Amino acid sequence: MNLNSDKLTPFQENELQWLRQQVDRMQDSKYKNTDIQNLNQERDLWVAREELDVFVRNLRKAGKKI
């Protein structure tokens, strides 16, 4: 039995960091641009947040500590 099974693998750590950066970039972009661009940016931000949420939820279900 692996005693470190609750820790993230390097791949999982990188994926988590990348997804968080995506959300940060989308949030920054949303607030910097005009109303015309906001609909696409809101959708992109929602998608980025959803991907991060699903990834984190699945890691927690697998017993990972984040």
Give a yes or no: residue 48 inside a domain.
yes
- Going by pLDDT thresholds of 50, 70 and 90, the confidence category of residue 13 is very high
Q: The domain containing residue 25 runs over which residues?
A: 10-61
Give a yes or no: residue 50 inside a domain.
yes
- DSSP alpha helix (H) spans, 4-63: 10-32, 35-61
pLDDT tens-digit readout, 42-61: 888 999 999 999 999 999 99
Mean pLDDT of 16-44: 82
User: 29 and 47 in contact (C-beta within 8 Å)?
Assistant: no
Number of domains within the chain: 1
**pTM greater than 0.75:** no
Three-state DSSP at 34 gives coil
User: 62 and 12 in contact (C-beta within 8 Å)?
Assistant: no
Residue 32 has pLDDT above 50, yes or no: yes
Q: Residue 4 corresponds to which tokens in the numbers above?
A: 């470190």
What is Dmax (Cα atoms) for the chain? 54
Give percent of the chain above pLDDT 90.
56
Give a yes or no: residue 3 inside a domain.
no
Give a yes or no: residue 36 inside a domain.
yes
Give a yes or no: residue 1 inside a domain.
no
Position of tokens 């949030």? 27
- Going by pLDDT thresholds of 50, 70 and 90, the confidence category of residue 8 is very high
